[in-house]
């Protein structure tokens, strides 16, 4: 079954930027209008292989076909062919092709900053030192679409316990590989590369905050953030930063790539919240890839029991 995703249902994250960035963009790019409309067209095109299992390899393994709410897993082919990964391209259907052959070995992840015991892990360390579990989570993109993905990985807290944050550490800052030769999207001047994301330390210590090394029982493919990415299931998908090379404990709130690009649109917390619209569209409903129609978006993406305590007493409209 092929599904169509129309541009009216899915608004791309990248089409509008803050006024400041927009002015820089116009100066840098004489053809900015053409670039914007080209991006719009790409998003409106068909995700032809989404939810078709035809291309699924033999070795994909899952223990169950649903998540804890009974929602069906999104097909392997949709999870690996409809992606946001701007280091390759802003075309969701284009990422997999562009990312093919991206080399992830050797790969090292430096964990340091305000810690007693800084460490550099190879990807083999990360796959063998920490028990890899299947973790089935919903991924809700800020654009209004979602998937259910069977990740392989372990809690971020396990790495943090190894490096021992000091009492000054308040936030965790993550960085994607910066290498424009291998990640051609990093030549785009619209964004301040590398991709950066962050969590408050107590959010990072919540067991749902996951470091993923695989999905469907296989190592991650490049389009999904190989070899090592963050998965924060209660926050919009852009917090789940891909292809991480650096994790740093810091004392001030990190500025993410999206906060830098459009601070009025993308906040630090980015908790999934149907009651707080994005400035340009509602967040009340979402399109589950592979389904027709829309379903209601759940507060904290359905993980409120596990995470709502983190925000007790906070105004989640102000801290969006
Ligand atoms: N480095 C990096 N990480 C990223 C992105 C990106 O462009 N670059 N896109 C984010 C967005 S917007 C989403 S919705 C998810 C998509 O993850 P998936 O393609 O594995 O489904 O990755 C997030 N992590
Ligand atoms: Mo996203």
Helix, strand, coil percent values for the chain (each to nearest 5):
25, 25, 50
Binned at pLDDT 50, 70 and 90, residue 52 comes out as very low
pLDDT at 21 over 90: no
Query: In terms of DSSP bridges, do strands 295-296 and 285-288 run parallel, antiparallel, or are they unpaired?
Result: antiparallel
170/168 Cα distance (integer angstroms): 6
CB 224 within 8 A of CB 80: yes
240/210 Cα distance (integer angstroms): 9
- pTM equals 0.88
**Maximum CA extent, the chain:** 53
pLDDT at 20 over 80: no
Binned at pLDDT 50, 70 and 90, residue 225 comes out as very high
The pick from 92, 180, 240 for probing ligand 1's pocket by mutation, whose C-beta has the most ligand atoms within 8 angstroms, reads 240
- The gap from C-alpha 65 to its chain's centroid, in whole angstroms, comes to 22
Q: Is the dihedral of CA 140, 175, 86, 107 positive or negative?
A: negative
4/1 Cα distance (integer angstroms): 10
In this structure, what token pair is assigned to residue 284? 């009340």
Which residue intervals of the chain are DSSP H helices? 19-28, 32-44, 76-79, 95-99, 123-128, 156-163, 201-205, 257-261, 304-307
Residue 47 confidence (pLDDT): 34
Q: Using CA positions, which residue lies closest to atom 16 of ligand 1? A: 84
Average pLDDT value for residue range 189-205: 97
Q: Which residue has the higher pLDDT, 47 or 259?
A: 259
- DSSP class of residue 212 equals E
Binned at pLDDT 50, 70 and 90, residue 9 comes out as low
Lowest-confidence pick of 52-56, 80-84, 273-277 = 52-56
Determine if ligand 1 sits within 6 Å of the CB of residue 86: yes
pLDDT at 226 over 50: yes
In this structure, what token pair is assigned to residue 261? 């690009």
User: How many whole angstroms from 85 Cα to the centroid of ligand 2?
Assistant: 9
In tens, the pLDDT along 290-306 reads 999 999 999 999 999 99
Q: Which residue has the higher pLDDT, 162 or 5?
A: 162
Domain ranges of the chain: 7-310
Determine if ligand 1 sits within 6 Å of the CB of residue 76: no
Residue 26 confidence (pLDDT): 46
CATH 3.30.365.10 for the 7-310 domain, yes or no: no
């Amino acid at each position: 079954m092929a599904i169509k995703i129309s541009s009216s249902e899915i608004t791309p994250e990248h089409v509008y930027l803050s006024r400041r960035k927009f002015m820089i963009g116009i100066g840098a790019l004489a053809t900015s209008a053409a670039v914007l409309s080209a991006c719009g067209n790409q998003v409106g095109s068909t995700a032809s292989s989404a939810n078709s299992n035809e291309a699924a390899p033999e070795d994909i393994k899952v223990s169950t076909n649903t998540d804890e709410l009974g929602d069906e897993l999104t097909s392997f082919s949709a999870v690996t062919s409809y992606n946001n990964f701007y280091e390759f391209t802003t075309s969701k259907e284009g990422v997999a092709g562009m990312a093919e052959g991206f080399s992830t070995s050797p790969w090292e992840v430096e964990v340091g900053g305000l810690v007693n015991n800084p460490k550099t892990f190879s990807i083999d360390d990360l796959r063998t030192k920490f028990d890899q579990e299947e973790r089935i989570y919903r991924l809700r993109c800020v654009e209004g679409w979602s998937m259910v993905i069977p990740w392989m990985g372990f809690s971020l807290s396990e790495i943090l316990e190894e490096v021992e944050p000091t009492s000054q550490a308040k936030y965790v800052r993550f960085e994607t590989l910066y290498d424009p030769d291998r990640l051609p999207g990093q030549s785009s001047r619209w964004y301040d590369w590398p991709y950066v994301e962050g969590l408050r330390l107590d959010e990072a210590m919540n067991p749902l905050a996951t470091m993923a090394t695989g999905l469907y029982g296989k190592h991650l493919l490049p389009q999904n953030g190989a070899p090592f990415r963050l998965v924060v299931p209660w926050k919009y998908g852009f917090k789940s930063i891909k292809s991480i090379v650096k994790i740093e404990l810091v004392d001030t709130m990190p500025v993410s790539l999206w906060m830098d690009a459009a601070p009025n649109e993308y906040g630090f917390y980015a908790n999934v919240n149907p009651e707080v619209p994005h400035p340009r569209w509602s967040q009340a409903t979402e399109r589950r890839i592979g389904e027709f129609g829309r379903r209601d978006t759940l507060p904290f993406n359905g993980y409120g029991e596990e995470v709502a305590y983190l925000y007790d007493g906070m105004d989640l409209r102000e801290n969006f």
